[in-house]
Structure 1
């Protein structure tokens, strides 16, 4: 009998530990208000709506390290970045302020480890904006603006620089910036006191001409980075060390027999580092699933999962690694898949989150 209380308490704490807040960014031109919040049960995969906050085209979100604040790009001609206070007790968001993104159509934002610097990438203008985060979560106007220049072989999509992500390295000493327009991943040293960016000695890493680098993720245990390439539907696997990228592998995120249009979007490694997932739009509407060699980081295809919707842009794996959620933008819903942790394959849970034009999914742990 003496063991019952500790065991019961442990189970109760475990259940509570698997409750999360889910944040969804959207495009607001078809009825969406802005950012939606949900309570997510990581045992069942069920999401319960909390509420929403109005803001224009919050197509990408970032959460502060202390999980008190949420930052959203407002993907418009005159781009802005908005800051919100997050209320864990009810999942609500309170608008704090908005500042210029120093460019057009910002599509990505990230926050440093200290939570005092945010970096936004502007797609249409090819600019990077570095801004301070105040102690109260509000943003200051950009203190550093970097204009990227160049082009590549796809004349309709690569006529100039198009910043598509601003990704901090795992140690937060470097910033990696995939530039879809120039087929380069730009590499920057990050000043630890101010967050100011300075090109590394290498300055950039090239990818195949016409590939269109888009998003990037790091392996949680190995010194390996994975880059999704939108225009060719491919993935580059790099050995990563101290701000340097060395190509090890380039592989397709589509079946060899695929003959449709490409449009790859997002890429994530599972929390245990065993599997890699990549989303494919175009005519594919699929998630590619790869096994990761645990010594080299190299990829081997495990399968393909239809997303059961149209135009899967962003997707996300919940912190427990139990579920993968796909934001199908053009079918206006998020599909919840269960991850088989032995094979990495996905099963439809039949759980759906109905929301207009979902394009970004982020998590906040409930304590």
Structure 2
């Protein structure tokens, strides 16, 4: 011990007599943490909207219920600053279900209900926010309609328009009437594409925020009979629309220009020889725009990965088990490193690591238990 004390004193004396030097301090980059809002189906007053935080560096994933007592908040989105959250109650009634507005405190993630409105159509299942965040659109599944709300300066919602679809398609059990499943703004924010599972069509509406009724139908584009279009996404350059066909487990690719769709490709989510029930659900693009991901429920329970080949056409490069039962929804982290898959039937969220070079997925040990998770909204975009 004495030996080390002498050496320490000598070193200290040398340091005091040495000329001063400016130390170079290289800041250590902060390890990323990923936050998501989780929409669920509920079976008790203890269930509701959840907050999930995931820190790979700390090997930590936490989940907490931040808004309990809501009936089936199956879809939840936030404004870009994360301070206003919109959800719904996927219910039926005299004026449909409900659309809910919350104020969110980012410091503790608490939600405070500030507004509640009728959805004006039964079983609302999808919400989209206009690019300027001044309008909110609801897709009412059982109502076969879409509702338009204007956002006031106080973040209150004012109902301004209801569009009722008509018609049916070839499946008498699932397509006996319209079933609006999603409403999606195009990259320019000038149009809204509406996928209707019941009529086997994608509708295109012109969007003009200055008008009393902002949406006006400009085109109807039929899918293959029996497809049941559910959700859709735009390619990174905005020149393609990719449509998930729920009932046939297909991915349809369309060119998109000036609100017009033209078919380009039709790709299966199923491995050769597969037999059983299907239920294609969600579609997402990777943040780098290189890959397309699609989930499939039923007896498949897979996530399909697509990429473009040298000829510029999409091809399926991977079909991987989703890690649970009924992968209704999934989402990717903003940096594209991870994909989180939410399973309604197995009550969990499973995390995959994404290869940035190929886009392929590998399941990790990370998993969170949540009652019937059915939607993931990424915070901090």
TM-score (norm 2): 0.89
Instruction: Find the counterpart in structure 2 of residue 156 from structure 1.
Output: 173
Matches within 5 A, 1:323-338: 323-338=338-353
Relative to structure 1, is the Cα distance of residues 27 and 251 closer, same or farther in structure 2, using a 3 angstrom cutoff? same
1:277 aligned partner:
293
Distance 1:41 1:237, change over 3 A: same
Structure 2 Cα separation of the partners of residues 70 and 329 of structure 1: 22
Does 1:179 pair with 2:201? no
In the alignment, the residues of structure 2 paired with residue 153 and residue 44 of structure 1 have an alpha-carbon distance, to the nearest angstrom, of 52
The equivalent of 2:260 in structure 1 is: 244
Q: Which has the larger radius of gyration?
A: 2
User: Residue by residue, what CA displacement relative to the aligned partner does 1:194-229 show, whole Å, maximum 9, x if unpaired?
Assistant: 5710011xx111110100000001112351111000
Q: Report what 1:355 is aligned to.
A: 370
Which whole-Å CA distance do the structure 1 matches of 2:155 and 2:107 have between them? 18
Q: CA contact under 8 A between 2:198 and 2:228: conserved in structure 1? A: yes
Q: Which moved more, 1:228-237 or 1:357-366?
A: 357-366
Give the TM-score taking structure 1 as reference length: 0.92
Kindly state the Cα deviation for residue 355 of structure 1 after the two structures are TM-superposed: 0.7
Q: Give yes or no for contact 1:51–1:91 (8 Å, CA) kept in 2.
A: no
Greater mean alpha carbon deviation, residues 119-128 or residues 241-250: 241-250
Conserved in 1, the CA contact under 8 Å of 2:187 and 2:238? no
8 Å Cα contact 1:314/1:359 also seen in 2: yes
TM-aligned CA distance change 1:244 to 1:353, over 3 Å: same
Query: Alignment partner of 2:377: what SS?
Result: strand
Aligned to 1:292: 308
1:136 to partner: Cα distance: 2.7
Q: Give 3-state SS (helix, strand or coil) of 1:165's partner.
A: strand
Q: Which one is further off, 60-69 or 45-54?
A: 45-54
User: Per the alignment, in what secondary structure is the counterpart of residue 311 of structure 1?
Assistant: coil
Q: Deviations over 1:267-301 (max 9, x none)?
A: 111111111111000100110111134874x3101
**Alignment partner of 1:143: what SS?**
strand
Give the conservation status (yes or no) of the 8 Å contact 2:125–2:181. yes
4+ aligned runs moved over 6 Å, structure 1: none
How far, CA to CA, are the matches of 1:3 and 1:171 in structure 2? Answer: 49
Instruction: For residue 182 of structure 1, report the CA deviation from its aligned partner.
Output: 0.6
Name stretches of at least 5 consecutive residues in structure 1 with no aligned partner.
none
1:8 pairs with one of 5, 20, 27:
27
Instruction: Give the root-mean-square deviation of aligned CA atoms.
Output: 1.9
Aligned equivalents of 1:68 and 1:58: distance in 2?
A: 18
Kindly indicate whether residue 203 of structure 2 is the aligned counterpart of residue 189 of structure 1: no
SS at match of 1:330: coil
Q: Is the 8 A contact 2:328 2:343 kept in 1?
A: yes
Question: Are 2:296 and 2:327, in contact at CA under 8 Å, matched by a contact in 1?
Answer: yes
Q: Does 1:235 align with 2:251?
A: yes
Q: Is the Cα–Cα contact under 8 Å of residues 288 and 305 in structure 1 kept in the other structure?
A: yes
Q: Say whether 1:56 aligns with 2:71.
A: yes
Residue of structure 2 equivalent to 1:267 = 283
Gaps of 5+ in 2: 1-20
